[in-house]
Structure 1
Amino acid sequence: MSKIALITGATSGIGEACAHVFAREGYSLVLTGRRLERLEKLASHLNKKYDTEIAISSFDVSDRAQVQENLDGIPEAWKNVDVLINNAGLSQGLDPIQNGNIDDWETMIDTNVKGLLYVSRIVSNWMIENGKGHIINLGSIAGKEVYLNGNVYCATKHAVDALNKGMRIDLLPHGIRVTAVHPGAVETEFSEVRFKGDKERAKKVYDGFEPLVAQDIAETIWFVASRPAHVNINDLVIMPTAQATAGNIFRK
């Protein structure tokens, strides 16, 4: 089997774009996500287009038992993972802290922080046993700055930033590379999920400027992963040209 990339949240957006890019580059793929039908459709499409081997596993990263059961259940050959892309994540709501929806807070913390930890703990041990590996964590400009009403989402992405640094130190003796990629405004399903299906409100987020698209981030992740073994890109921030900071966007 060729090199293997395991991608969480592969059913849409950046995760799906990463699946296309890594399949194009000859990787075998383990694709995970909550929506089984989308996983099956994506796997079929990539197999036909790139003739690559693909395994799929449908589970919610925020559910510890599901993560353990599904990753343990992957055939041993598929556990020889070269690249883990911790992409699964989301934002819910855009309210000031005093009006925040506690269910939204828990969803973001459980997915963005605990989900990343659950997956990383298992896969990092595979990598240690295999003597190789590269973990790429999807952060956000929200992990570098805090913006109006971003409070808990920003906190979760600050946590990803800190965890990335901690992983880099802890896994250093094992030769495992660790990288965080922090995008600015990317037009995916992100805002639609944040606004709970309100397509019109989500569309307005990107009015008047050209945002990044999922492919931009996937190609950046591929660049990071394809560096020689002695090179590790610790931390990378990527923004649309029209965006200077989290809250500073030039709109025409």
Structure 2
Amino acid sequence: MKFIVSIILLACLIGLSTSLFLETKGLMCSTCKFLWKEVKKELPVVAGEGDVELERVVKNVCGKFEKSVPLLGKFCQTFGHDALQDIYQYILSEDKKINPDKICFFFKNEILEKLIFLLLSFLSFCSIYIIKKLIKMKQYTIILLILAVAGISMAMVVADTKNMLCSPCKFIFKEVEKELPEADKITENALKVAIDVVCKRYLGGIPLAKDVCEKLGGDAVGELYKFILKEGKKIHPDSICKHLHMC
């Protein structure tokens, strides 16, 4: 019985660790890089009243994309005047050039990801030792409590993943709508072409766009076209993303 409890708890903790790591891995970093790549398009080189111009461009990019890019809203909240002053000084040390990779490393996002990975790895490796100690002490109530917390946490991770796909899904279908002909001329092939065009355009830019586009492969477009027919051949991003279980 003790062995079974130990195995179950270990599997749950490792599963939770893996889920949390996969959820955070790369997302913070890619969101940060996306922001600064967009800033770079509007401001390739910082010159003159650079700090004022940098703040203006960052606010402009945040306002433009924060509703469609997961986590961008949270990033934008951290980029207040003082934070941007620090980044501005860093950009000056880099010959006034905006380098998204270096800025995001400077802003500690990649370092934070590594710390999360180390913490979760430590949790996984130490699980057996902790469980053995708890069993030896006959702390079964604590074991069950940890198991319950781990299970709830995993459920929250799954729900959070769904929420994170919602905003990029809506963004993609707003762009798809722009690529499509008039409603009465929309065909399944036209829908497929429009989705392909938008996915290729934003695949390497919008975080999680790849996850959304992968769910639109195979027979998914055919099923989606049938749904759009029921909607009167109109593209409604909200209802489409709910239909695709991304919102």
TM-score (norm 2): 0.24
Flag the structure with larger Rg. Answer: 2
Structure having the higher helix fraction is 2
Structure having the higher strand fraction is 1
Which one has more relative contact order, counting CA pairs under 8 Å at least 6 apart? Answer: 2
TM-score (norm 1): 0.24
